[in-house]
Structure 1
Amino acid sequence: MPGTASALGRITSDEIASQPGCWIRAQEQSRSGPSGLPEAGEKVLVLGCGTSYYVAAAYAWLREQRGHGPTDAVIASELPEVLRPYDRVVAISRSGTTTEVHRALRRLGGDTPITAVLGALDTPIASLATDIVDLSYADERSVVQTRFPTTLLALLRAQLGDDARAQAELVDSGERAVNAEVTEALPRQLVVLASGWAAALAQEAALKCRESAGMWAEAYATGEYRHGPISVAGPDTLVWAMTPLSAVEISAIEATGARVHHGGTEPLAELVLLQRHAVAWAASVGRDADLPVHLTRSVVAV
């Protein structure tokens, strides 16, 4: 039930609540100029799996749109045979043990510098890196990732030019999100929408709900929703907009009988709020977000 406290998911909940503090630390880390973050003008390939891929996709969109240089995000397990030349490869892995990322880096080989962004440092992926960005302070006990990916995005946004005011507003929005009420009841179907760089965060938010609550959760770039997926919507659908919707989009969604949750202007804060709902929705059906079904902390091939 919305607003009901539960012992289920306590570890994950505590890590979710710690995010604003982690973002402050990431912003401070950015000011120190950590070695290995791509410089303006470099052609960059960013690799990751699951949550890390969604962070990579969000970063690639932001980096190009802010004029820092061509940036491709690729799922590590789907590394194509033919690649453009790059000045740097960035590999994201909380555990540092993800087999697909390790294999992709070994395939790439060559003289291209590799930056590994890691939550655990003495790991196989670290051994292949030219540079390491240490995010061990944002590592998690939980299988489900929450603060590691958002902390990395806070770091990258600062490195891409967020000024002091924007950084402070990000932290403030995060504080509001971790203290807000969990208001939405568990829907039969959840659809998460967002535009621009946040479209990748919509995918991440839906993933959190699938992992934690085992629920029917989808995600789309906002403009794509009316190109087919809306046909499944009905009175038991919750459409959560991480970025603002137009009046036409709202009207079309409400015509299906679905209810709309209107997000604010900070997608990372919306992700935090959805993380909190995912834990609450899991508890409402007796699931423990700390112990997600069929998942482990890292996907490692034997």
Structure 2
Amino acid sequence: MSEQFGVLTYPEIGGQSEALAAAWKQLDQQQDWVDNYFKSDKFDEVIFIGSGTSYYLALTAASTYRKWTGKSASAHPSSEIYLFREQAVAAKKEVLLVGISRSGESSEVILALDSVKDLAGWTTCGITCHGESTMAKNVPCLLSPLGNEKSTVMTKSFSSMTFMLQAAMAKAAGSEAHLSELKEVMELSKSVVEKGDAEAKALIHGHPELNKFIYLGMGAYNGLAHEACLKLKEMSCVWTESFGTMEFRHGPKSVVEPGTMVCLFLSETARAYEIKVAQEMKAYGAYVVLVTAEAGEDTAFADLVFATGGRQLSDEARAALNMPLVQYIGYYTALREGRNPDSPRNLTQVVKI
């Protein structure tokens, strides 16, 4: 029976290189969206919202937006805007609310967008993988045409929508440098996906003793760490948590012991500090995985160094390259546990309330 497991998820993880390229091409046809929303100086704050994976995407999007455009941005779960808007957003601002939903049918994001449509100072838009969805009909949306998936878990949809939003930000900022970076990301993506498959399979098959999984990341990678954790949790139901890299040292590190995998998304911005955290976890007995642009003498202590390439690229631009390994770790751990990653326990592809 297990040979039927993952028949949807596996090719979808493997298809993200094509999904990035399709998103790039589609964005050329949606320059008006970029001009009307990300390029506009009308807004005091850009707020990215989503639920589950889409909220973690929002965290990375907001971090990138602040860095690349120099404008104010934040991220919230969709439900915070719908149910706790006054606590989440200061009054008397011009706000751009950007909904993120793979299906465009998530109740919470639709409710959040709808709740502000008649309020002064609020403008709404979004990004989805389904152009005929409710959200796409309600608000102007970017479309990731090959991001749509049949599996319950989000994989290539996350990578492609992250990449597309970043490309829209680069266009809005008029940054040829960041656009050039993203072109290189597209070129690197195929080989990174193939390498991620092989290395994740070897890791999980070769280390059956691993029973705790912790993901760490800072800056634009904080959202990635939470997403990596969620992928593993959804697909395999094993013990996993995610934290900000430096914050992990303030109490949570007490859970580390032999049998614990600590996977750290290594930035270039804070590389020296993050390396020290990883070394500390190694001393406690953790199996340390570093996802980084390039291995070096400073990473030699790690049990696995997954190098994506592109060390000259900004941390933000490399976001999509960091995902294949951890998505495949979720996939192969699910198979190890006898679970079908296509149909996680208790989950549906679209969450409605």
Say yes or no: TM over 0.5: yes
- Structure 2 residue matching 1:113: 3-state secondary structure: strand
- 1:59 and 2:61 equivalent? yes
CA RMSD of aligned residues (A): 2.0
Q: 1:6: Cα distance to partner?
A: 5.0
- 1:156 and 1:53 map into 2 onto residues whose CA distance is 14
Size of the aligned set, in residue pairs, is 296
Instruction: Provide the identity percentage.
Output: 25
Deviation at 1:191, TM superposition (A): 0.6
Are the aligned partners of 2:17 and 2:186 in contact in 1 as well (CA < 8 Å)? Answer: yes
Moved more, 266-275 or 48-57: 266-275
CA 133–226 in structure 1, closer or farther in 2 if over 3 Å, else same: same
Match of 2:128 in 1: 118
1:263 corresponds, among 276, 282, 291, to: 291
Seen in structure 2, the aligned counterparts of structure 1 residues 207 and 26 have a Cα distance that, compared at 3 Å, is same
1:231 to 232, 254, 260: 254
Alpha-carbon shift at residue 68 of structure 1 (Å): 4.2
Match of 1:75 in 2: 77
Question: Which SS does the other structure have where 2:285 is aligned?
Answer: coil
Q: Counterpart amino acid of 1:105?
A: L
2:167 alignment counterpart: 158
Q: Distance in 2 between matches of 1:267 and 1:189?
A: 24
Whichever residue aligns with residue 249 of structure 1, its letter is: V
Point out the structure with the larger helix share.
2
**Which amino acid in the other structure matches residue 157 of structure 1?**
Q
1:98 alignment counterpart: 106
Structure 2 counterpart of 1:95, one-letter code:
S
Paired residue secondary structure (2:203):
coil
Name the CA distance, whole Å, in 2 between partners of 1:22 and 1:169.
15
Match of 1:188 in 2: 211
Give the match's secondary structure for 2:346: coil
Distance 1:113 1:267 in 2: 27
| Residue in 2 that maps onto 1:283 | 335
- Counterpart of 1:138 in 2: which secondary structure? coil
1:175 aligns to what?
Answer: 190
Retained in 1: the 8 A contact 2:30–2:142?
A: no
TM superposition score normalised by structure 2: 0.78
Output the CA distance in 1 between the equivalents of 2:151 and 2:163: 20
Structure 1 residues 6 and 269, CA, compared in 2 at 3 Å: closer, same or farther? farther
2:309 corresponds to which residue? none
State whether structure 2 residue 17 is matched by structure 1 residue 20: yes
Q: TM-score, normalised by structure 1?
A: 0.91
Which shifted more, 228-237 or 81-90?
81-90
